Amino acid sequence: MPMTIGDIAKLAGVSRATVSGVLNNSPTVSKKTHERVMAIIKEHNYRPNEVARALALNKTGILGLLVKDVSNPLYSKLALGVEEICDENEYNLIISNSHVDWERQVKTINLLKRRRVDGLIIFPLQKGHDPVQIKDLQKDKFPFVLLAELPGIEADLVRVDDESGSYQATSHLLKLGRKHIAYISGPDLALASERRLKGYKKALSHYDVPFDEKMIRKGGWRLDDGYNAGLELLSCDFQCPDAVFCYNDSVAIGLIRAFTERGKRVPEDVSVIGFDDTGVASYLETSLTTVAQPAKEIGRKATELLLKRIKNRNKTVKPHKILINTHLMVRETCGANLKGSVKAQVPID
């Protein structure tokens, strides 16, 4: 139904090659012809078919983003960053969710390859399976960037510096005079949780506070996990912690709820710090101090890296690993700030 390059050529009395030249601002087409053809293009509101273009150029101008779940604010903010860079380069973005399902990850990667997207940004499922598809991408020299480490795979990677983020958070608690700091870990599969534990330990040792195995508690990633971890900590026979560093904000909020229900005041009795800062933190009545992941920045950096990789498609460039710095958002639950006004607690936007 829409006009084709042939229709325009006929109307202008030139060949299709010439129209193509006009569209791509080729210097070989004369000014006169350019103007004449352009006028006709405008008049008929002709838009070249990008599918045909993609076929001819072997380049779709589309990138794929595969995450676990876009409705997770961490990923949707990331997607925003990806889109920003896409926009600047006239790319479009196909977003897919693996929903933490291995089969879907496989299927999606295959479909996106069939669609000949120019590159992929992947938050891969970790552990549990052999990531054959990712290895295949590498074999085929298909441009892609990972958003999480995959043991045994050396590829372009962008992620947050968990260890340093955790180190900062723990140090902050130590500087506030806390001595018995618990760490509530994330889900078993998360490598990030291990790295954060490392940063936590590093901070302790830096401040000469002895590490206590009992202060490490299994958590998870949901409100419930934090709530349960909180109850568990309270019911212990040993020294109750005077500070808790949690795997993420949900866990922190759940834990705080358990604590306040049992009469422990936050931050007066116990300081709490979370991780991610995906939005809820600043909305709480006692706003949550947390380690912010600059998700948008991660998305931007990953996309820039991917575009570079696409440019150097056949060249052998060794994998690039980019660590993004976290930001400690000091709010109220750590005890460093007094209760403030709304404005102070809300991120600027």
Partner DNA sequence: GAATAAATTTGAACCGGTTTAAATTCAATA
Partner DNA sequence: TATTGAATTTAAACCGGTTCAAATTTATTC
Residue 23 sits in the site that holds DNA (CB under 7 A): yes
Residue 110 sits in the site that holds DNA (CB under 7 A): no
Contacts of 240 (CB under 8 A, 6+ apart): 180, 233, 234, 264, 270
By CB under 7 A, how many residues form the interface with DNA?
31
Q: Interface residues for its own copies in 51-70 (CB under 8 A)?
A: 51-52, 54-55, 60-62, 69-70
- Pick one of 10, 11, 25, 33: the residue that binds DNA (CB under 7 A): 33
Q: How many CB atoms lie within 10 A of CB 263?
A: 8
Residue 338 sits in the site that holds its own copies (CB under 8 A): no
- Pick one of 260, 323, 330, 336: the residue that binds its own copies (CB under 8 A): 260
Residue 95 sits in the site that holds its own copies (CB under 8 A): yes
Q: Interface residues for DNA in 48-87 (CB under 7 A)?
A: 48-49, 52-53, 55-58
- Pick one of 20, 76, 286, 337: the residue that binds DNA (CB under 7 A): 20
Contacts of 230 (CB under 8 A, 6+ apart): 244, 254, 255, 256, 257, 258, 259
- Between residues 31 and 343, which has the closer beta carbon with respect to DNA? 31
Half-sphere exposure (CA, 13 Å, Cβ side) for 173? 35
What is the nearest approach in angstroms of DNA to the Cβ of residue 41?
A: 11
Residue 35 sits in the site that holds its own copies (CB under 8 A): no
Q: Using CB under 8 A, which of the segments 22-30, 106-114, 144-152, 157-165 binds its own copies?
A: 106-114
Q: Dihedral of CA 14/17/23/26: which sign?
A: negative
DSSP, residue by residue, 164-187 = HHHHHHHHHHHHTT---EEEE---
For residue 222, give both structure tokens.
């949901």
For residue 26, give both structure tokens.
């080729």
Report which of 96, 131, 97, 87 is spatially closest to residue 115, judged by C-alpha positions. Answer: 96
- Pick one of 90, 208, 213, 237: the residue that binds its own copies (CB under 8 A): 90
Q: Please, what is the Cα angle at 107 between 106 and 109, to 5 degrees?
A: 65
DSSP, residue by residue, 130-152 = --HHHHHHHHTT--EEESS--TT
- Between residues 14 and 147, which has the closer beta carbon with respect to DNA? 14
Residue 333 sits in the site that holds its own copies (CB under 8 A): no
Residue 94 sits in the site that holds its own copies (CB under 8 A): yes
- Between residues 137 and 302, which has the closer beta carbon with respect to DNA? 137
- Between residues 36 and 104, which has the closer beta carbon with respect to DNA? 36
Q: Which residues pair with 183 in a beta bridge?
A: 216, 245
Phi, psi angles (nearest 5°) of residue 329: -95, 100
What is the nearest approach in angstroms of DNA to the Cβ of residue 133?
A: 19
Q: Using CB under 8 A, which of the segments 109-117, 118-126, 127-135, 210-218 binds its own copies?
A: 109-117
Q: Please, what is the Cα angle at 60 between 83 and 8, to 5 degrees?
A: 115
What is the nearest approach in angstroms of DNA to the Cβ of residue 84?
A: 26
* Rg, Å, the chain Cα set: 26
Residue 28 sits in the site that holds DNA (CB under 7 A): yes
For residue 165, give both structure tokens.
């983020």
Q: Interface residues for its own copies in 206-235 (CB under 8 A)?
A: 223-224, 227
- Pick one of 32, 42, 139, 343: the residue that binds DNA (CB under 7 A): 32
Half-sphere exposure (CA, 13 Å, Cβ side) for 95? 17
Q: Which amino acid is at 167?
A: Y
By CB under 8 A, how many residues form the interface with its own copies?
56
Binding site for its own copies (CB under 8 A): 1-2, 47-52, 54-55, 60-62, 69-71, 73, 76-77, 79-80, 83, 90, 92-97, 110-116, 140-141, 223-224, 227, 250, 253-254, 257-258, 260, 279-280, 283-286, 342-343, 346
Binding site for DNA (CB under 7 A): 2-6, 13-21, 23-24, 27-33, 48-49, 52-53, 55-58
